[in-house]
Amino acid sequence: MKTMSIGIVGGGAIGMWLASVLAEKIDVSLYVRRAEQREALIQNGLVMAGHPPVRHLTLKMTSEPWTEDLIILAVKQPALKSLLPKLNSPDSPHQSLLFIQNGMSHLAFIKDLPFTTIVVGSVEHGVRKLEDTVIDWTGKGRIRCGVIKGNTESLMPLLSEPSLNVEIILNWFKMLEDKLVANAVINPLTALFKVENGEIFKNPHFIKVAQALFEEISGALRMTSEEKNQRWKHIQTICERTASNHSSMLQDLESGRLTEIDAILGYIFNQNKSGNLPIIKMLYSSIKGLEAKK
């Protein structure tokens, strides 16, 4: 019996994937930015490669009111700025918000939003968007969630879906920092080298670059030896699990979109402005240059 509703804001790979999985058991509305995508989804359904089209979704535009019990923000960090008016003036303050962005810059404003429950999440599944209506689930992983305020009651539909593999993490800041470090190594390098995630650890030359970058990041974030070991292994695991994936940053550049480089390497640089971070600075400028070129 459907007793709770979920609104997913963002028609990218992760938003569409979550909608296709959750809509089988619960009322799901997918909010997209472009009318063309909405019309295509109405005509063709949401298609996950190898599965029948999902047609029992409510398709809305992001400009429409968000009325669902749980709102999942599945947009990139740059897009959050345009959604701030909605977040600062909610129609229903008792709604729950789940943020699943890369990077950590959004922490500066989400903690004090006037909602009862605010959760941050880290999606470690591999998903690719092939067309406006088609996605490919390329690697099964997990979703880690940490509650900034409120409780986990609103997450029950996600927790009860085994294929999502949702875990509740008490130390949400460390969880986000784990994700930040992985993204800071994988995303810029795959975007600059134009390779799939798995190539970072297959190519001995790329491994050396990744190790040098990781050393700078670990120094900037003042990691302990234990954290360094754990996070390096975590990066390897993600690259293996999503070996055939194009990172989100590479996909953004290929599609002429802004990347999340400011929220990832920009955030790390701002944690240690006085430090000597030549590799981070070089990669940051390289990605910004490729953005400008596009």
Residue 260 lies in a domain: yes
| Model confidence, pTM | 0.89
| Same-domain status, 22 and 164 | yes
Residue 37 lies in a domain: yes
More confident residue, 105 or 42: 42
Across the range 32-44, mean pLDDT stands at 96
d(CA 23, CA 6): 9
Q: 123-144 burial, b for 16+ CB within 10 Å, e for fewer? A: bbbbbbbeebbbbbbbbebebb
Q: Which tokens is 45 given?
A: 């359904």
| Same-domain status, 21 and 151 | yes
Contact yes or no for 35/61 (Cβ under 8 A): yes
| Same-domain status, 119 and 11 | yes
| Same-domain status, 54 and 151 | yes
Residue 265 lies in a domain: yes
pLDDT at res. 40? 97
| Same-domain status, 63 and 191 | no
Mean per-residue pLDDT of the chain: 92
Residue 294 lies in a domain: no
Locate the DSSP E strands across the chain. Answer: 5-9, 27-32, 47-48, 58-61, 70-73, 96-99, 117-123, 126-129, 134-139, 143-149, 166-168
Which of 139, 170, 201 is the last residue in one of the domains? 170
Q: Which tokens is 200 given?
A: 């970072």
Count up the domains in the chain and report the number: 2
Output the CA angle 267-272-276, nearest 5 degrees: 115
Contact yes or no for 101/263 (Cβ under 8 A): yes
| Same-domain status, 11 and 156 | yes
| Same-domain status, 183 and 82 | no
What radius of gyration do the chain's Cα atoms show? 19
Q: At 279, which CATH number?
A: 1.10.1040.10
| Same-domain status, 125 and 201 | no
Indicate the SS3 state at residue 257. coil
d(CA 89, CA 172): 25
Q: At 90, which CATH number?
A: 3.40.50.720
Label residue 84 by pLDDT band (50, 70, 90).
confident
| Same-domain status, 137 and 217 | no
| Same-domain status, 47 and 14 | yes
Active site residue 179: yes
Residue 256 lies in a domain: yes
Structural domain boundaries enclosing 101: 5-170
Q: What is the pLDDT of residues 140-177, one digit of tens each?
A: 889 999 999 999 999 999 999 999 999 999 999 999 99
d(CA 44, CA 25): 20
Q: What is the pLDDT of residues 235-279, one digit of tens each?
A: 999 898 888 888 989 989 998 888 999 999 999 998 876 678 999
Across the range 184-212, mean pLDDT stands at 97
Percent of the chain clearing pLDDT 70 (strictly above): 98
- Of these residues, 76, 149, 179, 281, which one is catalytic? 179
pLDDT at res. 273? 65
| Same-domain status, 17 and 163 | yes
Q: What is the pLDDT of residues 105-141, one digit of tens each?
A: 888 888 889 998 999 999 988 888 999 999 999 888 8
d(CA 43, CA 133): 9
